[in-house]
């Protein structure tokens, strides 16, 4: 038996260092690498089963050609050569007739390695295809809000939480989505550091916290401004820090904070005045308060404003200036590599843009030219994209030539003309940089690609070569391509020794000192000139969203979606054990709401609104408040009774970053 040092490539902030135990070309077991201090020798409940992911009997073995109707799932095996010939012939014809903008590469983050993630985008960039604004389904809203407030720079070092005197998990279910940070937070809690969770549901994390503020969905800005109001009222504002490192607090204090006294904040958020007061008192007394910002609270109409308000709090107490204090959303922006080397090797400076979360719309309504050729890799939009019914209608177009590259025959793949078997991270070599910690690592393949699977990197290179693209990056081995990423890198990454990196051990590259601000003023911006110039509110505020108010009048329940515990979106849909561990796809209603509808725990129910209907199993629990229906995970058809939750979600954008608004949807639940 051999032990191979690898890196977890699942879309997760932790980026664990892992050890794969391998024998005869098979992964026997995957476990945490004790040498990485943060991920500290344990893998999560999902990745503990990654041997079953790699060797799942449900994996696609060969390229497949569709022989049934789109969506039906009938395919026949074909050779790689025939598949690649057909793809390039079709693409060349589309380009000749309609120009390269009739093509779209729709590739995302299921493989977090820079090579396997970046080069597929690079292929379409070089082709001059319509360009994906990637990530709007996920983090563009929170990222835009952070960038405007703090700047395009990473947040607090998660390892500094060892020095914190207060930990706030604000809209993040750490136990599910950031378990190694949770391990540190729990250790701090054992030392007496209070842990507070602000979340509309009693998540696993909330149950383990010292205090849970069960806030109404979409009211976080009001709570953050209410806390600032109390801090100002009680003389807990650190004026020296404000003067030295921030901009616009005086205006916020004069124009906005007076409208957020505790009584009004209680009415908006649904929290008790006493709980708001005691949270503010704890926060104001702490010197090194650490806020872990979640993305969930930004996936709604005014999510950007919410994140902005919360990210400003550590400026009010000066926590941003102290180790263990501040806020962490993402870390990736601090690693300034030459990403363009892979993602933009050549190609026109501008082409037509397609928003990741509006694939359905793009497929159905783009003209001059319409989208005619689509390659989807490491993404399952028929399930995970908002308004997935519209996505499917688009994918069902007979005149659309669709290629899907995936290890599994996903719901999306069933609409493809050609399906190509993809290698997973355990079968591919890559370079990784974390987005939730300050580590970099090079990871080798643990086993060769299973069946006839190809890595994303290999597929991008082969398609580039057949399409006549001559950029050198399309001919490099992964080891060479990583050097291109570091050529032109700036900041601490520029000084890195590539040989040390290639040795495959984790490298820590964390910022030192207090939070740096990279806004136009170089300060934390309570008042944003950038927002004012764009005609948007320059300071955070809270007011009801008119569209939400209209929908609320029509439908009695608000949708709350959140990551599954034993699932990562749909990436584990091919692992039988984890499907069973996660349980039947369900929705969760408060006992009062269930009783009102005469529904009992375990009942088959229909969730519906103006976009459609979905069938799930009901769980009755006071994990959520009345007025809310929680749907954990995005489970595919076949596992659900019918459909998938994103069929009920609109493709409306957030206030900042044109992101998805899963939490701004309203619906009802009835017996199946």
Ligand X SMILES: Nc1nc2c(c(=O)[nH]1)N[C@H]1C(S)=C(S)[C@@H](COP(=O)(O)OP(=O)(O)OC[C@H]3O[C@@H](n4cnc5c(=O)[nH]c(N)nc54)[C@H](O)[C@@H]3O)O[C@H]1N2
Residue 177 binding ligand X, by CB under 6 A: yes
Under a CB-based contact definition with an 8 Å cutoff, are residues 394 and 407 in contact? no
Closest approach of ligand X to the CB of residue 552, in Å: 14
Closest approach of ligand SF4 to the CB of residue 404, in Å: 23
Q: Measuring CA to CA, which residue among 419, 380, 405 is closest to residue 634? A: 380
Angle at 345 between CA 341 and CA 351, to 5 degrees: 125
| Residue placing its CB nearer to Mo ion in the complex, 63 or 296 | 296
| Residue placing its CB nearer to ligand SF4 in the complex, 422 or 426 | 426
**What is the per-residue binding string for ligand SF4 in 175-194, x denoting contact by CB under 6 A?**
----x---------------
Q: How far is CA 435 from CA 6, 154, 330, 428, 438, in A?
A: 17, 9, 5, 20, 8
Candidate residues 473, 568, 607, 669; the one interacting with ligand X per rule CB under 6 A: 568
Measured CA to CA, the distance from residue 568 to residue 22 in angstroms comes to 24
User: By CB under 6 A, what part of segment 296-315 binds ligand X?
Assistant: 296-297, 300
The rounded radius of gyration (Å) of the Cα atoms in the chain is: 24
Under a CB-based contact definition with an 8 Å cutoff, are residues 232 and 320 in contact? no
How many residues in the shown chain lie near ligand SF4 by CB under 6 A?
12
Under a CB-based contact definition with an 8 Å cutoff, are residues 466 and 453 in contact? no
Closest approach of ligand X to the CB of residue 11, in Å: 4
Beta bridge partners of 29: 21
Under a CB-based contact definition with an 8 Å cutoff, are residues 10 and 178 in contact? no
Separate counts of helices (H) and strands (E) for the chain: 24, 27
Contacted by 43, from Mo ion, ligand X, ligand SF4, none: CB < 5 to 8 Å by type = ligand SF4
Residue 218 binding ligand X, by CB under 6 A: yes
Contacted by 322, from ligand SF4, Mo ion, ligand X, none: CB < 5 to 8 Å by type = none
Measured CA to CA, the distance from residue 437 to residue 181 in angstroms comes to 9
| Residue placing its CB nearer to ligand SF4 in the complex, 3 or 530 | 3
| Residue placing its CB nearer to ligand X in the complex, 578 or 599 | 578
Would you tell me how many other CB atoms lie within 10 Å of the CB of residue 273?
A: 15
User: By CB under 6 A, what part of segment 390-409 binds ligand SF4?
Assistant: none
Candidate residues 43, 172, 311, 607; the one interacting with ligand X per rule CB under 6 A: 172
Candidate residues 120, 138, 377, 423; the one interacting with Mo ion per rule CB under 5 A: 138
Contacted by 384, from ligand X, ligand SF4, Mo ion, none: CB < 5 to 8 Å by type = ligand X
546, two tokens: 């008119």
Under a CB-based contact definition with an 8 Å cutoff, are residues 482 and 496 in contact? no
Residue 383 binding Mo ion, by CB under 5 A: no
Residue 54 binding Mo ion, by CB under 5 A: no
Measured CA to CA, the distance from residue 323 to residue 287 in angstroms comes to 10
User: By CB under 6 A, what part of segment 253-292 binds ligand SF4?
Assistant: none
Candidate residues 564, 627, 632, 657; the one interacting with ligand X per rule CB under 6 A: 564
| Residue placing its CB nearer to Mo ion in the complex, 64 or 138 | 138
Residue 378 binding ligand X, by CB under 6 A: yes
Please report the beta strands in 80-122, taking only residues with DSSP state E, as ranges in sequence order.
Answer: 103-107
Candidate residues 140, 379, 640, 650; the one interacting with ligand X per rule CB under 6 A: 379
Residue 84 binding ligand X, by CB under 6 A: no
Choices 71-79, 98-106, 136-144, 641-649 (CB under 5 A): range interacting with Mo ion: 136-144
| Residue placing its CB nearer to ligand X in the complex, 131 or 245 | 131
Contacted by 200, from ligand SF4, Mo ion, ligand X, none: CB < 5 to 8 Å by type = ligand X
**What is the per-residue binding string for ligand SF4 in 9-38, x denoting contact by CB under 6 A?**
-x-x-xxx----------------------
Would you tell me how many other CB atoms lie within 10 Å of the CB of residue 358?
A: 26
Closest approach of ligand SF4 to the CB of residue 109, in Å: 12
Choices 131-139, 369-377, 418-426, 657-665 (CB under 5 A): range interacting with Mo ion: 131-139
**What is the per-residue binding string for ligand SF4 in 36-65, x denoting contact by CB under 6 A?**
---x---xx-xx------------------
**522: CB partners within 8 A, 6+ apart:** none
CA dihedral 391, 395, 399, 405 (to 10 degrees): 130
**Closest residue (Cβ) to ligand X?**
296
Measured CA to CA, the distance from residue 284 to residue 319 in angstroms comes to 10
Residue 611 binding ligand X, by CB under 6 A: no
Closest approach of ligand SF4 to the CB of residue 392, in Å: 28
Measured CA to CA, the distance from residue 328 to residue 451 in angstroms comes to 41
Candidate residues 171, 248, 304, 394; the one interacting with ligand X per rule CB under 6 A: 171
Measured CA to CA, the distance from residue 56 to residue 380 in angstroms comes to 18
Closest approach of ligand X to the CB of residue 385, in Å: 7
Total number of residues shown for the chain: 672
Measured CA to CA, the distance from residue 225 to residue 501 in angstroms comes to 44
416, two tokens: 């493809």
Q: Can you say how many angstroms the Cα of residue 546 is from the centroid of all Cα atoms in its chain?
A: 27
Residue 8 binding ligand SF4, by CB under 6 A: yes
Q: What is the DSSP letter of 527?
A: S
Contacted by 8, from ligand SF4, ligand X, Mo ion, none: CB < 5 to 8 Å by type = ligand SF4
Contacted by 47, from ligand SF4, Mo ion, ligand X, none: CB < 5 to 8 Å by type = ligand SF4
Q: 516: exposed, middle or buried (C-beta count within 10 Å: 0-12, 13-18, 19+)?
A: middle
Q: Indicate the helix (H) or strand (E) that contains 118.
A: helix 114-127
Under a CB-based contact definition with an 8 Å cutoff, are residues 432 and 478 in contact? no
Query: How does DSSP assign 459-505, residue by residue?
Result: HHHHHHHHTT---GGGT--HHHHHHHHHTT--GGGGG--HHHHHTT-
Contacted by 379, from ligand SF4, Mo ion, ligand X, none: CB < 5 to 8 Å by type = ligand X
* Residues engaged in binding ligand X (CB under 6 A): 11-12, 108-111, 116, 137-139, 170-173, 176-178, 198-201, 203, 215, 217-218, 220, 294-297, 300, 377-381, 384, 405-408, 410, 422, 424-425, 456, 560-565, 567-571, 634, 645-646, 649, 662-663
Binding site for ligand SF4 (CB under 6 A): 8, 10, 12, 14-16, 39, 43-44, 46-47, 179
Q: Which spans of this chain sit near Mo ion (rule: CB under 5 A)?
A: 138
């Amino acid at each position: 038996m051999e032990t191979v040092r690898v890196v977890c490539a699942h879309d997760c902030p932790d980026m664990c260092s892992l050890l794969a135990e391998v024998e005869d070309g098979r992964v026997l077991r995957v476990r945490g690498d004790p040498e990485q201090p943060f991920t500290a020798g344990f893998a999560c409940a999902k990745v503990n089963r990654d041997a079953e992911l790699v060797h799942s009997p449900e994996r696609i073995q060969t390229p497949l050609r569709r022989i049934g109707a789109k969506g039906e799932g009938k395919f026949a095996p074909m050779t790689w050569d025939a598949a690649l010939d057909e793809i390039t012939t079709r693409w060349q014809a589309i380009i000749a007739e309609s120009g390269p903008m009739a093509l779209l590469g729709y590739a995302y983050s299921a493989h977090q390695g820079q090579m396997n993630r970046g080069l597929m985008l690079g292929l379409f960039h070089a082709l001059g295809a319509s360009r994906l604004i990637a990530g709007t389904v996920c983090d563009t809203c929170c990222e835009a809000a952070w960038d405007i407030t703090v700047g395009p720079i990473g947040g607090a070092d998660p390892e500094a939480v060892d020095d914190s005197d207060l930990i706030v998990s604000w809209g993040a279910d750490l136990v599910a989505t950031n378990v190694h940070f949770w391990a540190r937070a729990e250790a701090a809690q054992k030392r007496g550091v209070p842990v507070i969770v602000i979340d509309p549901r009693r998540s696993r994390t909330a149950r383990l916290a010292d205090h849970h503020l069960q806030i109404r969905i979409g009211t976080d800005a009001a709570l953050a401004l209410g806390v600032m109001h109390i801090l100002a009222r009680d003389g807990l504002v650190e004026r020296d820090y404000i003067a030295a490192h921030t901009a616009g607090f005086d205006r916020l204090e004069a124009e906005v904070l007076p409208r957020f006294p505790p009584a009004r904040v209680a009415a908006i958020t649904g929290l008790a005045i006493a709980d708001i007061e005691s949270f503010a008192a704890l926060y104001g007394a702490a010197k090194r308060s650490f806020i872990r910002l979640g993305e969930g609270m930004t996936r709604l109409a005014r999510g950007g404003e919410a994140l902005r308000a919360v990210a400003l709090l550590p400026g009010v107490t000066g926590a941003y200036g102290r180790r263990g204090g501040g806020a962490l959303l993402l870390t990736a922006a601090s690693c300034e590599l030459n990403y363009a080397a892979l993602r933009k090797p050549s190609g026109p400076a501008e082409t037509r843009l397609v928003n990741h979360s509006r694939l359905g719309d793009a497929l159905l309504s783009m003209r001059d030219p319409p989208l005619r050729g689509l390659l989807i890799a490491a993404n399952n939009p028929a399930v995970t994209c908002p308004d997935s019914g519209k996505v499917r209608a688009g994918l069902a177009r007979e005149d659309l030539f669709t290629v899907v590259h995936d290890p599994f025959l996903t719901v999306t793949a069933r609409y493809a003309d050609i399906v190509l078997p993809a290698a997973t991270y355990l079968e591919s070599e890559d370079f990784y940089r974390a987005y939730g910690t300050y580590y970099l690592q090079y990871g080798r393949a643990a086993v060769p690609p299973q069946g006839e699977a190809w890595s994303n990197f290999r597929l991008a290179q082969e398609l580039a070569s057949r399409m006549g693209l001559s950029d050198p990056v399309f001919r490099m081995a992964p080891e060479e391509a990583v050097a291109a990423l570091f050529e032109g890198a700036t900041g601490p990454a520029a000084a890195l020794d590539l040989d040390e990196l290639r040795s495959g051990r984790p490298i820590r590259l964390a910022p030192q000192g207090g939070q740096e601000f990279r806004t136009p003023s170089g300060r934390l911006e309570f008042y944003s000139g950038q927002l004012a110039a764009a005609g948007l509110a320059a300071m955070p505020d809270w007011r009801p969203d008119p569209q939400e108010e209209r929908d609320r009048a029509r439908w009695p329940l608000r949708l709350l979606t959140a990551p599954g515990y034993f699932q990562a979106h749909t990436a584990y849909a091919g692992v039988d054990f984890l499907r069973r561990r996660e349980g039947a796809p369900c929705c969760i209603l408060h006992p009062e709401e269930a009783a009102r509808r005469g529904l009992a725990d375990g009942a088959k129910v229909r969730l519906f609104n103006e976009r459609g209907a979905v069938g799930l199993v009901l769980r009755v629990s006071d994990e959520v408040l009345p007025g809310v229906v929680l749907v954990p995970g995005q489970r595919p058809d076949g596992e659900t009774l019918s459909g998938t939750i994103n069929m009920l979600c609109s493709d409306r954008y957030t206030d900042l970053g044109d992101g998805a608004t899963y939490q701004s949807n309203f619906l009802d639940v009835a017996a199946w």
